[in-house]
Amino acid sequence: MRVLVAEDEARIASLVGKALEAAGFLVDLSGNGDEALSLAGTVSYDALVLDIMLPGRDGLSILRHLRALGNAVPILLLTARGGLNERVEGLNLGADDYLSKPFYVEELVARLHAIIRRRSGDTTGLLRAGDLLVNLITREVRRGEVRIELTAREFTLLTCLLRAPGRVFTRAQLCEHVWEYHHDPGTNLVDVYIQRLRRKLQDHGETPLIETVRGVGYRVAAP
């Protein structure tokens, strides 16, 4: 899962970034509101963490702008202590949750998981395909009785496919979702990772979980 954190206080941004990475998120940091809005409009994030006081456009303005464009990405606001008015305004503008400073990064991680689950309609934190079971909270992956260890990027790639069964993802879409840069058509990065996933998942049967759609990309079959 990929998250944008817009926070101009370097110490807080660094703490939050490290905690989210440790929890398995891919994190983009921005210390400027205009840059954050531009990133949120071009990259497909699973959630945004927006500080309200930012150089350039403030967090509430980013929120208002994205919602006006119909962008429903889950958003958690960071507000100043006692900032009742901005909390109320944020919720009215369509924020999913807020945390007042100072906060514990553990709570931020838990709340982010919660708003992402809520938005995807998944209240259990589990994704399934056939005998494959993925727990988004503990990050445990099992196929039948066998536990499978995945790297952060392999996990993100797999859950991206599993969240939209039946949908075909192009290599460029997967690349943008899982890696930090836009797809270079000259690389076979996505194919290499799909092969690794298939190897780890022992996905070589007649009806594999991860299907290749020739000339387009990959998908997990709809149940």
Contact residues: Ca ion, CB under 5 A: 8, 51, 53
Residue at shortest CB range from Ca ion? 53
Q: Coil, strand or helix: which one is 1? A: coil
Output the smallest distance, CB 15 to Ca ion, in A: 13
- Which CB atom, from 51 or from 96, has the smaller least distance to Ca ion? 51
Q: Coil, strand or helix: which one is 186? A: coil
Output the smallest distance, CB 101 to Ca ion, in A: 9
Q: How far is CA 213 from the centre of its chain?
A: 24
Output the smallest distance, CB 54 to Ca ion, in A: 6
The beta strand positions in the chain, using DSSP E, are 2-6, 26-30, 47-51, 75-79, 97-100, 126-129, 132-135, 141-143, 146-148, 169-170, 210-213, 217-220
Compute CA distances 117 → 109, 162, 165, 199, 215, whole Å: 12, 14, 16, 28, 32
Q: Specify which residues 178 forms β-bridges with.
A: none
- Which CB atom, from 20 or from 175, has the smaller least distance to Ca ion? 20
- Which CB atom, from 103 or from 198, has the smaller least distance to Ca ion? 103
- Which CB atom, from 8 or from 211, has the smaller least distance to Ca ion? 8
Output the smallest distance, CB 180 to Ca ion, in A: 24
- Which CB atom, from 80 or from 110, has the smaller least distance to Ca ion? 80
- What span, in angstroms and rounded, lies between the C-alpha atoms of 154 and 110? 22
- Which CB atom, from 15 or from 53, has the smaller least distance to Ca ion? 53
- What span, in angstroms and rounded, lies between the C-alpha atoms of 163 and 203? 18
Output the smallest distance, CB 121 to Ca ion, in A: 32
Q: How many CB atoms lie within 10 A of CB 14?
A: 13
Q: Coil, strand or helix: which one is 123? A: coil
Output the smallest distance, CB 10 to Ca ion, in A: 10
